[in-house]
Amino acid sequence: MTIENNHVVAVRYILHTIEEDGSKILVEETTAENPLTFLYGAGRMIPKFEQNIQGLKAGDKASFVIQPDEAYGEKDPNSIVQLPLDMFQESGTPPVGAILPLSDGQGNNFQAFVVEVTPEAVIADLNHPMAGKVLDFEVEILNTRPATEEELSHGHSHGVDGTETH
C-alpha cells in the first residue's frame, strides 16, 4: 500500500543538519521499535518531507535534503530579543543555553533559547531551533495504512496500529 493523504505512516529516520562547511551533525534518529508515526496530509509535518515520501510503501527507503526555506525558514535577526532581568526575579536568571517557555499577550506559547546574559538583560533567540538549518534525511517506511475514522476526526495518528497509548 502506497502513502497517500489520510494514511497513517510509520517511518524510521535519521536526521542530520548539513553545516556551512559541509559537515553533518546528527540531530535525531528513530528506530523501528519507536518510529515516527503521523497522519499524512494533516499539515503536521514539513510539507517538503511529505512530498519526498509521497507514493512510497512499506520497505522503501529514501534520502533527501530540505533547504531552510522549505523547512523552518531562515534565522530572523529580529527574533533575537532582550528580556529585562526583572522578569526573572522569582525564578532566577537563566543560564546561557536554557530554554525559556514564554507566551505572548494572545496566549500563544513558544520557546526561547538563552544566547547571552548581560548585567541588564537576558538575550534570547525566538527562532525555531532548526531555523536556518539544511536538513538531511534518511528514511525507511515501516508501515502505511488508512487512518481510522477516529484518527481523521482527531487530526492525528493513534500509533502504528491505530490504538493510542498514553
pLDDT tens digits, 128-147: 989 999 999 999 999 999 98
For residues 137 and 68, state if they share a domain.
yes
84 and 111 share one domain? yes
CB 135 within 8 A of CB 65: yes
Q: Which stretch of DSSP H or E encloses residue 48?
A: helix 47-53
> CA-to-CA distance for 145 and 9, rounded, in angstroms?
7
| 68 and 87 both lie in a single domain | no
Query: Does a structural domain hold residue 38?
Result: yes
116 found inside a domain: yes
Q: How far apart are CA 156 and CA 64, in angstroms?
A: 24
80-84 sheet: strands from edge to edge: 80-84, 121-125, 109-117, 99-103
In a domain, 165, yes or no: no
Q: What pLDDT shows up at residue 163?
A: 58
Q: Please name the helix (run of DSSP H) or strand (run of DSSP E) that holds residue 25, with its range, or none.
A: strand 24-29
Q: Is the pLDDT of residue 106 over 80?
A: yes
**Is residue 166, in this structure, part of any structural domain at all?**
no
Q: What is the pLDDT of residues 44-101, one digit of tens each?
A: 899 999 999 999 999 999 999 999 999 999 999 999 999 999 888 888 899 999 999 8
Give pLDDT, residue 166.
43
* CATH number of the domain where residue 113 is located: 2.40.10.330
The answer on 142 and 68 residing in a single domain is: yes
Which amino acid is located at 65 in the chain?
A: V
pLDDT digits (tens, 9 = 90+) for 21-51: 999 999 999 999 999 999 999 888 999 999 9
Q: Which three cell numbers stand for residue 81?
A: 530579543
110 and 139 inside one domain: no
Query: 67 and 101 share a domain?
Result: no
pLDDT at 152: 86
Q: Is residue 25 part of a domain?
A: yes
Q: What is the number of domains present in the chain?
A: 2
68, 74 contact by CB (below 8 A): yes
